[in-house]
Amino acid sequence: MARKRVTPVTAFDPGLLRTAAIDSLKKLDLRRQIENPVMFSVEIGGILTTVAFLYELFRPTMTSVMFVGMVSAWLWLTVLFSNFAESLAEGRGKARAASLRRSRATMAAKKLNSPQFSALFESVTSTDLKPGDLVLVQTGDLIPSDGEVIAGAALINEAAITGESAPVVRESGGDRSAVTGGTTVIANEVIVRITAEPGKTFLDCMIQMIEGAKRRKTPNEQALEILLFALTGVFFLVVAAIWPVSAYSAATSGSGSPVPLTVLIALFVCLAPTTIAALLPAIGIAGMDRLFQRNIIAMSGRAIEAAGDVNVLLLDKTGTITLGNRQAAAFIPVDGVDEADLVNAAYCASYADETPEGKSVVALATESGRTLNWIPTEATFMPFSAHTRMSGMDIGGVSYRKGATDAVTAESTSHGNPIPPDLIPKVTRIAQTGGTPLVVSRDWTILGVVHLKDILKSGVRERFFDLRRMGIRTVMITGDNRLTAAAIAAEAGVDDFLAEAKPDDKLRLIKTYQEEGNMVAMTGDGTNDAPALAQADVAVAMNNGTQPAREAANIIDLDSDPTKLIDVVEIGKQILMTRGALTTFSIANDVAKYFAIIPAAFLVIYPQLAVLNVMGLATPETAILSAVIFNALVIPLLIPLALRGVQFRPMPAARLFTYNLVIFGLGGIVAPFLGIKAIDLLLSAVMPL
């Protein structure tokens, strides 16, 4: 299906970059900066060094004015880079939220006093609607708020929400009754019962989520912040203790002086985990945004984080694992019948069968090239009916029939024809492999069997294989009998299946898994899925589902594509991985920064400490500046990684850990040595320090 989407905007769109740049300046306001305590402390450092710079400026000697000024400037840049990362991550969401807000603008509604199309209505505004109110929505009207269709059916354009321009049908009863405020009725009229409080509609939630206004830090994010904050605190004390230690050392060694404030602040900023602290908000926001780019709305950040932990996926067979319908896969003639005869008969018998199964028989027969491929004329058609469980065609006095085994054989016997002895074994074999046999007869003589098969969606097998490697169990849920279910489960490569499932079986299964300590994810759309959705740790509802299902879920898929559950899991994991990777990188960087700053800071007290200058940095000033500049520049360099997320690799945890440990741990130790040295070479070339 071709989709028309809102034009994708890249995160690095020039317009967004400009907005983000302005926004990052606004975030310097200390009252806002305090939300990120680590960067707040850097900003305080920036202020203090600026004061030191002004002080130097008015001193007659002006010896270190250049150095202090540079350190100060780069500290400010460090904070700005951090703010920029966050603003950039918010940018796309804000742009989309603005367009959504236009759809939300107060609109007129036709409030009915009884659920009849003929009833009188009064005009009210959408903000006055309360749950339980009934409204009439006619062609061309906007649906004023979230609700459920209780009468009628209409064609609705939901592009405002989903970006999908093809209209959808919403009708009363069944699983397609939910309508969303802000969407437009383009044909027919419906009566809608409002289900959302004013200001709490789906559109409102969506805007808040996208804008990040309602974004609360997830527990894991908070725990990480505590770690970062604690490390920052300890490094503050380290730096605070260096002053008396260096004063004491200078006094007893008789040379040098205590380490100056600017150097202490530079050391503190370099040691504090600024890289991860600067990018942490961006990682979470960008993760939400990545979901949003795939038309998935998470109702809370917690839901995405939980998705990373999911270890059991409950998947409906139809639509997720298999294509919606069975398809003809093979023609199996009984002994003594030519296959071409069977193919031809099946073609004729299915010609008028409008069911997808029937169409697939015609398609397979045409493909095989064995049919005459003629267009039957003057024929009597017998379409498939649930009553006869057969379809067929009578032409030129010949009757072609195709249908369920018992139906066709019964008809055949009644016409006095024997049942071929090898028919039953062939039929049974098909059933055992999970297929559905359709028996074909010509003039009440049985010719053979058509093998109908569930067709797996392309790529699901590989995806399940990946999931298993990641330690995620997949469970297929189907209404099919055990035999069929087992065969499809084996073919798709799921770990387990639940056959002949009734709606409340899902809920029971989820509870069982959860009692064992598992985190369960599922998708659902129908009202009877709602309890299970509410129970699941990660519940993805289809946007075209019912209102109860959408309310019970914590993630809504606007495209109503159940396979996207797997995307949600991947993005959830990516967010956590990106946080972990950048934390490791940030902490590992400290080793090199120590080796850059410590010898430089203490050189005047103990000249022999020059041997610790393993990078051979030119002067103490360039050494300290290089470390500060590296510390600042690494933030914008890592913004793409933070926004895109660490590349997701489906592999067992043990290997994944080792892999990331080498890249970000070892890389985090080595990279700053190279980076600081490079910056130092550059600085010593251009700066007459």
Partner 1 sequence: MPIANPPVDVVTIAVFLFLVTLASYFLGQYLAAVFSGKLHWNPMIRLEKALFYFIDTSTDHEDSWQGYARDLLIFNAIGFCILFLVLIIQGILPLNPQHVSGFPLSQALNIAVSFTTNTNWQVYSGETAASYLTQMIGFTVQNFLSAATGLCIAVAVMRGLTRKTTDRIGNFWVDMIRAVLYVLIPLAFIATIVLLSQGVIQNLDPSLTISGYGDAGPQTIAMGPVASQEAIKMLGTNGGGFFNANSAHPYENPTPFTNLFEIILILLIPASLPFMFGTLSGKRKQGFAIYIAMLVLFIAAVGMLYSAELSGNPALVSQGVPGVSMEGKEVRFGLAGSILFSASTTAAANGAVNTMHDSLAPLGGLVPLFLILVGEVVFGGIGSGFATMIAFVIVAVFIAGLMIGRTPEYLAKKIEIFEMKMALITILVPSILVLVFTGIALVVTDGLAGIFNPGPHGLSEVVYAFASMANNNGSAFAGLNAASPFYALTGALVMVVGRFMPAIAMLALAGSLAKKKTIPAGTGTLPTASPSFIIWLVAVILIIGALTFFPFFAMGPIAEHLSLLGGI
Number of C-beta neighbours around residue 283 at 10 A: 27
When the beta carbons of 57 and 241 are compared against partner 1, the nearer one is: 241
**Closest CB 36 distance from partner 1, rounded Å:** 17
**Closest CB 330 distance from partner 1, rounded Å:** 37
- Bridge partners of 48, per DSSP, are none
**Cα–Cα distance, 71 to 435 (Å, whole number):** 73
Candidate residues 445, 648, 667, 687; the one interacting with partner 1 per rule CB under 8 A? 648
- What the block records as the tokens of 616 is 């051979």
**Closest CB 259 distance from partner 1, rounded Å:** 9
Sheet of strand 445-456, all strands in order from the earlier edge strand to the far edge:
322-333, 445-456, 436-442, 398-403, 390-395, 380-382
**Cα–Cα distance, 408 to 420 (Å, whole number):** 13
Question: Of residues 165-194, which lie at the interface with partner 1 (CB under 8 A)?
Answer: none
Does residue number 545 form part of the binding site for partner 1 (CB under 8 A)?
A: no
**Closest CB 585 distance from partner 1, rounded Å:** 10
**Cα–Cα distance, 63 to 620 (Å, whole number):** 14
Does residue number 616 form part of the binding site for partner 1 (CB under 8 A)?
A: no
Which candidate in 289, 316, 525, 680 is catalytic?
316
Max Cα distance, the chain (Å)? 120
Closest CA to 395 of 412, 382, 411: 382
One DSSP character per residue, 77-105 reads HHHHHHHHHHHHHHHHHHHHHHHHHHHHS
Does residue number 472 form part of the binding site for partner 1 (CB under 8 A)?
A: yes
Closest CA to 81 of 287, 286, 282, 288: 282
Residue span binding partner 1 (CB under 8 A) among the ranges 53-61, 356-364, 537-545, 608-616: 608-616
**Closest CB 642 distance from partner 1, rounded Å:** 14
CA distances, 516 to each of 314, 315, 512, 513 (Å): 15, 19, 7, 5
Candidate residues 34, 108, 240, 682; the one interacting with partner 1 per rule CB under 8 A? 240
When the beta carbons of 100 and 577 are compared against partner 1, the nearer one is: 577
Does residue number 274 form part of the binding site for partner 1 (CB under 8 A)?
A: no
Does residue number 653 form part of the binding site for partner 1 (CB under 8 A)?
A: yes
When the beta carbons of 51 and 230 are compared against partner 1, the nearer one is: 230
Does residue number 535 form part of the binding site for partner 1 (CB under 8 A)?
A: no
**Cα–Cα distance, 259 to 430 (Å, whole number):** 84
When the beta carbons of 537 and 559 are compared against partner 1, the nearer one is: 537
Residue type, 155: L
Candidate residues 574, 622, 631, 684; the one interacting with partner 1 per rule CB under 8 A? 574
Residue span binding partner 1 (CB under 8 A) among the ranges 148-156, 223-231, 403-411, 556-564: 223-231
**Closest CB 517 distance from partner 1, rounded Å:** 4
When the beta carbons of 326 and 593 are compared against partner 1, the nearer one is: 593
- Please check whether residue 500 is in contact with residue 479, taking contact to mean a CB–CB distance below 8 angstroms: yes
Question: Of residues 575-604, which lie at the interface with partner 1 (CB under 8 A)?
Answer: 576-577, 579-581, 583-584, 587-588, 590-591, 594, 598-599, 601-602
Q: What is the CA radius of gyration of the chain?
A: 34
Candidate residues 7, 118, 414, 608; the one interacting with partner 1 per rule CB under 8 A? 608
Residue span binding partner 1 (CB under 8 A) among the ranges 39-47, 121-129, 150-158, 228-236: 228-236
When the beta carbons of 227 and 363 are compared against partner 1, the nearer one is: 227
- What the block records as the tokens of 59 is 């001193």
Does residue number 230 form part of the binding site for partner 1 (CB under 8 A)?
A: yes
**Cα–Cα distance, 93 to 158 (Å, whole number):** 19
- Please check whether residue 157 is in contact with residue 184, taking contact to mean a CB–CB distance below 8 angstroms: yes
- Please check whether residue 63 is in contact with residue 689, taking contact to mean a CB–CB distance below 8 angstroms: no
**Closest CB 591 distance from partner 1, rounded Å:** 7
**Closest CB 660 distance from partner 1, rounded Å:** 4
When the beta carbons of 410 and 610 are compared against partner 1, the nearer one is: 610
Whether 316 is catalytic is: yes
Residue span binding partner 1 (CB under 8 A) among the ranges 141-149, 370-378, 515-523, 615-623: 515-523
Candidate residues 90, 204, 289, 305; the one interacting with partner 1 per rule CB under 8 A? 305
- Residues near 402 by beta carbon (within 8 Å), at least 6 away in sequence: 345, 346, 349, 350, 353, 358, 361, 390, 391, 392, 408, 438, 439, 440, 441, 450
Candidate residues 468, 493, 667, 687; the one interacting with partner 1 per rule CB under 8 A? 468
**Closest CB 252 distance from partner 1, rounded Å:** 4
Candidate residues 223, 330, 410, 678; the one interacting with partner 1 per rule CB under 8 A? 223
Does residue number 674 form part of the binding site for partner 1 (CB under 8 A)?
A: no
Residue span binding partner 1 (CB under 8 A) among the ranges 65-73, 101-109, 229-237, 400-408: 229-237
Candidate residues 17, 150, 245, 363; the one interacting with partner 1 per rule CB under 8 A? 245
Does residue number 469 form part of the binding site for partner 1 (CB under 8 A)?
A: yes
Counting residues that bind partner 1 (by CB under 8 A) gives: 76
Does residue number 294 form part of the binding site for partner 1 (CB under 8 A)?
A: no
- Please check whether residue 322 is in contact with residue 461, taking contact to mean a CB–CB distance below 8 angstroms: no
Candidate residues 23, 175, 189, 309; the one interacting with partner 1 per rule CB under 8 A? 309
**Cα–Cα distance, 151 to 189 (Å, whole number):** 9
In 432-527, the DSSP E strands lie at 436-442, 445-456, 473-477, 496-498, 520-524
- Please check whether residue 19 is in contact with residue 90, taking contact to mean a CB–CB distance below 8 angstroms: no
Candidate residues 611, 685, 686, 688; the one interacting with partner 1 per rule CB under 8 A? 611
Number of C-beta neighbours around residue 413 at 10 A: 13
273 φ, ψ (degrees, to nearest 5): -75, 65
Does residue number 249 form part of the binding site for partner 1 (CB under 8 A)?
A: yes
Closest CA to 286 of 218, 212, 226: 212
When the beta carbons of 593 and 677 are compared against partner 1, the nearer one is: 593
- Pairing of β 445-456 and β 322-333: antiparallel
Does residue number 465 form part of the binding site for partner 1 (CB under 8 A)?
A: no
Does residue number 268 form part of the binding site for partner 1 (CB under 8 A)?
A: no
**Closest CB 216 distance from partner 1, rounded Å:** 13
**Closest CB 569 distance from partner 1, rounded Å:** 9
Does residue number 658 form part of the binding site for partner 1 (CB under 8 A)?
A: yes
Candidate residues 30, 226, 372, 483; the one interacting with partner 1 per rule CB under 8 A? 226
* Buried b or exposed e, range 323-336, using 16+ CB within 10 angstroms: eeebbbbebbbbee
- Residue 154 CA to its chain's centroid (Å): 30
Catalytic residue ranges: 316
